[in-house]
A and B are shown apart, each in its own frame.
Chain A
Amino acid sequence: MLKARYKTGLVFFPAFDWAISPTHPEREERLLYTQDQVFEEGVLDIDGIREFKPELVTVQDVQRVHFCVPDVANIMTESHFISAGGAKTIGRAVMDKQVDRGFALVRPPGHHAMRVVHGARGFCNVNIEAIMIEYLRKAYPIQRVAIVDTDCHHGDGTQDIYWHDPDTLFISLHQDGRTLYPGTGFPNEMGGPTAIGTTINYPLPPETSEEGFLYAIRNVVLPILEDFKPDIIINSAGQDNHFSDPITNMNFSAQGYAALTELLSPNIAVLEGGYSIEGALPYINLGIILAMAGIDYSKIKEPNYDPERLRQKPEISRWIQRTGDQILSNWHQRDKIKSFVQDTQRFAERTRSIYYDTDNITEKQTETLRICSDCSGVLQIDSSTDGGRRILAVHIPTRACNNCRELGYEWFDAADKKKTAAYLQDRPEDHYEQRNRDF
């Protein structure tokens, strides 16, 4: 009799009636063959594997993470409420100890969605992992969270949301940004001045195989996780590193994904990208489920899998090793770098331009962070788009000190007086507000 070593919860929500457009990679058919495989393998009958029906997230759950412009209702479709809700359901099942681990097999994905949202980027509108994590932080006594993003694309949205949060360790493994969307995610992107070191980027060269991925996990990710000591580990389980994926250039496999999951042992995995819907997803998802449940996955093999053909070139291995060494050295010196940055400034400012490829919007942001010795600092974002929308958003972090909290309200009121659209996230009070919105 087949029995799971770890009680594993699954939310399966393939959204069979939702697509970005009929032939878009993010379409109805995407998880069809995965569902067929999961059903045919009888996975849901395995003793210790339990399927949960997804709930819907609330508007407040979304506001806790995002500044949606003009508002949540305009940014999210039903499908987004359910896919974020699926992640939330799994998070609760794990925290309530109904299961040891959980996997939200949901779509649409979320890891390109940043804190301010004017539209869809990289097939994502809202960040489903962040919505889940911030809900869990509100509802359960957890503080330190680690997110390991194994999607082939840099998780720039998740990085943005946790850029200034020293309690969240964000590690992204992805195809080198010089060769793939969104073009970011280099090792020198290490987090904001009050959270330096807790953002970690590990770009991997095209044609990285099982060897390279497992090297990165074993030699770099796991030691850092051990140092950080998170309360929970979340895996943003994108599946587009597969050798058959149509929009990327990696050489990973179903066996490799299962082995990676086994090594990482995440408490919660959330599906992200992956668009080889026939040749890869059914097998990778099966592998991840079995690995999470602690069941033998050695006989999973996708068609056309030939480990010989996918063997990694020595120069790729050397490159991965060098990058790993640099990341570890940055990690070990993070306190030094942090004090160096903090010594010199009272406020930190950064200006950047963000492109929403799915909705063709260009956004300009100026971010101002108070560098505070008592907390991670209050944050203000002045955001405007080429469509003529401008907002001023104020984020008061969960463990903000009184000074930062007061400054946050000063900023918010000042914007209000100037009749600028003003958005507020008061995390200590779990209070969210919008004023002067006239678009």
Chain B
Amino acid sequence: MIIGLDVGGTYTDVVLLGDEGIVRAIKVLTDTRALFKTVLSGLDSITEGIPPGKIRRIVLSTTLTTNAIAQAKISNVGMIVSSGPGIDPEFYRTHAHYVAVCGSIDHRGREIEPVNTCEIEEFARNFAAEGIRYMGVVGKFSTRNPRHEMLIHERIQPYFEKVFMGHQISGNLNFPRRIATTYLNAAVYPIHKQFFEAVHQSLEKKGLTIPIHIMKADGGTMNFAASMDFPAQTILSGPAASVMGSLAFAFDDEESLVMDIGGTTTDMAILVKHVPVLNPLGICLGPYKTLIRSLESHSIPVGGDSNVSVQEGRIQIGPERIGPAMAYGGSVPTPTDALCVMGKLKSGDREKSVQGFQSIAHDLDCSIEKAADQVFDHTCRTILKEARILIDRINQKPVYTIHELQEGYQVNPQKILILGGPAPYFAQRFEEISSFRVGVVPRWDVANAIGAALARTTCEVSLFADTQQGIAMSPEEGFTTAVTQDFSNADAVLTAGELLKQKAARQGASPEEMEMEVVENQQFNMVKGFYTVGKNIRVKMQIKPGLIDEYDTIAGILSME
């Protein structure tokens, strides 16, 4: 049996899945100040009476790191960045304990200026003297040559508990994002470590000695050990878990739009052939633009509890959630109240909703029922309009070859999958006002926990070869090898594939989950004068997000429920 747990803002959802489908599903209130207690009570209830030996997998998705960053409750860390020429690194200052040191690597990974070890040790001693225990070290073009980062790491490591290096965080080029991402990893590391060590110990006490998997923002998982090196990858894993949960119920069609209509926001993502579309660069969280791989998603401040008002004769939904719907004790009218007025939602106090809609009906100069219908209609149309923005954003992504521009794959989903409380009512209206076919995810209430339970391990690997310099390397993996002039694209893909397999296994994937994919494969002749002097090869491979093999049976059962 598998346990999936997703900590949300209001509720923490836990499911226990077995051959017979959902064996158990529970909700406990999330206590944001005591997340550990919340998780534990969720795990206690779900495993009650189940022999520990029957549980073989557990996957957790938490808001721990996301909240810590949003509330600025992260540890003070030290950052050492080595930039070389270009944009002034001062622009990328993350916080006070940030220093730019000398040293420079160029775009082909050649050293232009060495690092100064005395300078570095002095900064390190100062940081240590100020009580800093965690460090981030980032160099420009360290993904082309990590030597400077490694040298700095070696020098400062004795002074600190853990030092994160930029080149290990991601193989992608983007120095400012590498700085922000390395910083966040270092800054959330202690809370992440403390939390998951505690969870680990509690599970052991229960006799659950199975590996813990942790949900990431790209819709995949990593194991406990890997998460210690990449704790920031757990940021915003919740929305990814919901999308993965809906995947189990996706249409057989090529493309669908997934919408999670919550109280405060509506989150959207796109599935193509049962795989969520990924953001090519990484998550943006508050002021931080990162290299943390994530789903391409769109979140809008329109939800069931958004405040509704009329301004200059026009309906305005959101952007705030002032409280619950008036039907459930709130103080301002919301789209949920509109559904109550229309008689669709029966559980709330309709009288309260009607009261709330009086002023709106007055402002719109129509009956209360008509006003409610208009508000609901406007909410639906706003959500559809925003969905178009997400689709356009994906389709307008620049490409850099004639081939890609001509063959340019355009997503054009015809189906919507909706999750969320009022999903059935939205589904009906969406079908009336658009050409989309709309389906409601069964068990949407725990789809996030189901998604966590069934998500497979994901990871990616970048390989870079320069046959003129005679090297192939994957700095993220700490891999460098000498190559000859005849090293080819095909060799690069083979090497990268091997590295990816090893990485996936290290991060907790089982061999049958390793569905590998080449996402980038470029080869350039390098010419000096009029002679080819070598090849410049770039290969990127990934294990794409998806569900573990068991999902077929489980999804089949769930769909029939």
Q: Measuring CB to CB, which residues of chain B are less than 8 angstroms from any residue of chain A? A: 85-88, 91-92, 106-108, 112, 140-141, 144, 173-177, 287, 289, 396-403, 405-406, 522, 524-527, 529-532, 536
- State in angstroms the CA–CA spacing of A283 and B398 once bound together: 22
A16–B141 CB distance below 8 A: no
- State in angstroms the CA–CA spacing of A386 and B289 once bound together: 59
Select which of B108, B405, B406 is within 8 A of A33 by beta carbon.
B108
Select which of B85, B177, B289 is within 8 A of A302 by beta carbon.
B85
A15–B401 CB distance below 8 A: yes
The reply to whether the CB of A27 lies closer than 8 angstroms to some CB of chain B is yes
B107–A278 CB distance below 8 A: yes
* Closest chain A residue to B398, Cβ basis: A53
Q: Measuring CB to CB, which residues of chain A are less than 8 angstroms from any residue of chain B? A: 1-2, 11-18, 22-23, 27-29, 32-33, 35-37, 39-43, 45, 51-54, 78-79, 82, 246, 278, 282-283, 286, 290, 295-296, 298-303
Select which of A13, A33, A52, A53 is within 8 A of B107 by beta carbon.
A33
The residues of B that contact A39 with a CB separation of less than 8 Å are 173-174
B525–A301 CB distance below 8 A: no
Sample (18) of A-B pairs whose CB atoms are under 8 Å apart? A14-B400, A22-B527, A22-B532, A29-B525, A29-B536, A32-B524, A33-B107, A40-B140, A40-B173, A42-B175, A42-B177, A45-B289, A53-B398, A278-B107, A290-B87, A295-B87, A296-B88, A299-B86
- Known contacts A27-B525, A36-B173: A2-B399 contact under CB 8 Å: no
Q: Which of B106, B144, B175, B177 has the most CB of A within 10 A?
A: B106
B173–A2 CB distance below 8 A: no
- Known contacts A12-B400, A33-B108, A40-B107: A45-B177 contact under CB 8 Å: yes
A16–B85 CB distance below 8 A: no
A32–B173 CB distance below 8 A: no
The residues of B that contact A35 with a CB separation of less than 8 Å are 400
Query: Shortest Cβ distance from A257 into chain B, in angstroms?
Result: 14
Query: Shortest Cβ distance from B405 into chain A, in angstroms?
Result: 6
- State in angstroms the CA–CA spacing of A186 and B479 once bound together: 56
Q: Which of B86, B108, B176, B398 has the most CB of A within 10 A?
A: B86
B177–A51 CB distance below 8 A: no
A299–B524 CB distance below 8 A: no
A303–B112 CB distance below 8 A: yes
A300–B108 CB distance below 8 A: no
Q: Which of B85, B108, B289 has the most CB of A within 10 A?
A: B85
A23–B401 CB distance below 8 A: no
- State in angstroms the CA–CA spacing of A354 and B232 once bound together: 62
* Closest chain A residue to B529, Cβ basis: A246
- State in angstroms the CA–CA spacing of A281 and B175 once bound together: 19
B88–A299 CB distance below 8 A: yes
A282–B107 CB distance below 8 A: yes
A278–B108 CB distance below 8 A: yes
- State in angstroms the CA–CA spacing of A79 and B532 once bound together: 23
Select which of B92, B141, B398, B525 is within 8 A of A12 by beta carbon.
B398
The 6 closest A-B pairs by CB, nearest first: A42-B176, A301-B85, A39-B173, A36-B107, A40-B173, A2-B91
A300–B107 CB distance below 8 A: no
The residues of A that contact B406 with a CB separation of less than 8 Å are 78
The residues of B that contact A290 with a CB separation of less than 8 Å are 87
The residues of B that contact A296 with a CB separation of less than 8 Å are 87-88
- Known contacts A28-B525, A29-B526, A82-B405: A53-B397 contact under CB 8 Å: yes
A17–B85 CB distance below 8 A: no
The residues of A that contact B531 with a CB separation of less than 8 Å are 23
The residues of B that contact A42 with a CB separation of less than 8 Å are 87, 92, 174-177, 289
Query: Shortest Cβ distance from B336 into chain A, in angstroms?
Result: 36
- State in angstroms the CA–CA spacing of A301 and B83 once bound together: 12
- State in angstroms the CA–CA spacing of A40 and B92 once bound together: 13
A40–B524 CB distance below 8 A: no
**Given A32-B524, A78-B406, 9 additional A-B pairs, CB 8 A:** A22-B527, A41-B87, A42-B92, A51-B398, A53-B397, A79-B402, A290-B87, A296-B88, A303-B106
B402–A82 CB distance below 8 A: yes
* Closest chain B residue to A27, Cβ basis: B527
* Closest chain A residue to B177, Cβ basis: A42
- State in angstroms the CA–CA spacing of A301 and B87 once bound together: 10
The residues of A that contact B177 with a CB separation of less than 8 Å are 42, 45
The residues of A that contact B287 with a CB separation of less than 8 Å are 1
B88–A286 CB distance below 8 A: no
* Closest chain A residue to B397, Cβ basis: A53
- State in angstroms the CA–CA spacing of A41 and B529 once bound together: 28
B175–A16 CB distance below 8 A: no
- State in angstroms the CA–CA spacing of A40 and B396 once bound together: 21
- Known contacts A41-B87, A45-B176: A16-B401 contact under CB 8 Å: yes
B402–A18 CB distance below 8 A: yes
The residues of A that contact B396 with a CB separation of less than 8 Å are 53
Select which of B107, B532, B536 is within 8 A of A23 by beta carbon.
B532
* Closest chain A residue to B395, Cβ basis: A53
B108–A41 CB distance below 8 A: no
Query: Shortest Cβ distance from A172 into chain B, in angstroms?
Result: 28
The residues of B that contact A298 with a CB separation of less than 8 Å are 88
